Amino acid sequence: MGGGRPKQLLSLGGTTILQRSVAAFDRCGRVDEIVLVVPVELAADSAVASTPDGTPMRVVPGGVRRQDSVARGFDASSPASEIIVVHDAARPLCSTELIIRTLEAASRYGAAIAALGAHDTVKQRAPDDGRFVGRTLSRESIVLAQTPQAFQREVLAQAIALGRRGVEATDEATLAERAGHRVAFVEGEPDNIKITTERDLTVARRLLGGATPTGRVGVGYDLHRLVEGRPLVLGGIRIPHDRGLAGHSDADAVCHAVADAILGAAAAGDIGHHFPDTDPRWKGASSIDLLRAVADLVRSSGFLVVNLDVVIVAEHPRIGPHTGRMREAVASAVGIAPEAVSLKGKTNEGVDAVGRGEAIATHAVAMLREI
């Protein structure tokens, strides 16, 4: 759901999903150390998460499967640890009280998991045809497992050893069961949701008191001189004119201003940083393609473009007849409907280089929302 970015790094209430999950354990007085298991490419990122309350934390690269990652986290934990807790980084609303309840149950019974009872009638699919009900299960006997899951160190060591011998499982409690250990239940929390889809993220934001994602606004500006021997390209379309805009790429001032507005809203630099005019790769490049790349970049950072407002300041040619096609091209590049793009032309009333017809300037405002 995060595009090119792990969902745990998406924004939730002013921080990341991952940081909220880490913070729950950082502020729990029963936790002596945290081992954060992350994708290999994030293992060297010192800013991926922090522990403001001072709990020692180390970051280690994960494995291919969940159980491989947990095994690596276990290997990195202190040998003096008596109880080890496994928690999904995608469950950022876990309370300190739930962590303590799970720890205490594991200390008493050897292994414990947070779980919720099923409130709906539970149906099992027919084994021969999953479109039909096979049988109805007693909901009193069904629970929905959450994390945290806590284990005495030796219990988890035996569970992980089974996994290393090739036993597959979707959580460590299953491996502990197969190793012959009884796993106790503690009452989970309805708010302790696992964020898997965009809808889950919306629910989490509402639970934190934010019914809508935070909006981000950016402003962009660009100006290019008009010169002979160049086609005039604005908003991704070619406009008939006796001169075109000078620049390293196709000098599309509309796309450049919009790109800077989008990057500004995401606090992600500017177009010159990402596509420098000293780089021969961008010589003569289509700016609509650059704009598409900028939209992809901010999407991977956890933002989507909501709408754009663009003003083109040009004495000649007249912009009005071309705004419809430009809106469609720009909207397609950033992934929004043309109705979400406002594009209008103005003159400079004969004032300065733009007013004398020597240049064209563009102003743009972009609004982004968190994914």
Asked if pLDDT for residue 4 goes beyond 90, the answer is no
pLDDT tens per residue, range 165-177: 999 999 999 999 9
* pLDDT, average across residues 9-20: 87
* pLDDT, average across residues 273-292: 89
Q: Where in the chain is the domain with CATH 3.90.550.10?
A: 7-207
* pLDDT, average across residues 255-283: 91
CATH number attached to the domain at 7-207: 3.90.550.10
DSSP state of 106: H
To which residue do tokens 């069904």 refer? Answer: 142
DSSP state of 362: E
Query: Which DSSP string corresponds to 26-88?
Result: HT-TT---EEEEE-GGGTT-TTS---TT---EEEEE--SSHHHHHHHHHHHS-TT-SEEEE--
Report how far residue 178's alpha carbon sits from residue 162's, in angstroms, rounded to the nearest whole number.
Answer: 8
pLDDT tens per residue, range 213-234: 568 999 999 999 999 999 999 9
pLDDT tens per residue, range 47-70: 899 999 999 999 999 999 999 999
Query: Residue 143: beta bridge partners?
Result: 117
pLDDT tens per residue, range 306-330: 999 999 999 999 999 999 999 999 9
- pLDDT at residue 11, rounded to an integer: 82
* pLDDT, average across residues 253-262: 96
* Stated pTM of the model: 0.62
* pLDDT, average across residues 139-159: 95
* pLDDT, average across residues 9-29: 90
* H helix intervals, 134-197: 153-164, 172-178
pLDDT band at 84; cut points 50, 70, 90: very high
Question: Using an 8 Å Cβ cutoff, are 135 and 124 in contact?
Answer: yes
CATH architecture of 215-370: 2-Layer Sandwich (3.30)
Asked if pLDDT for residue 291 goes beyond 90, the answer is yes
- pLDDT at residue 211, rounded to an integer: 45
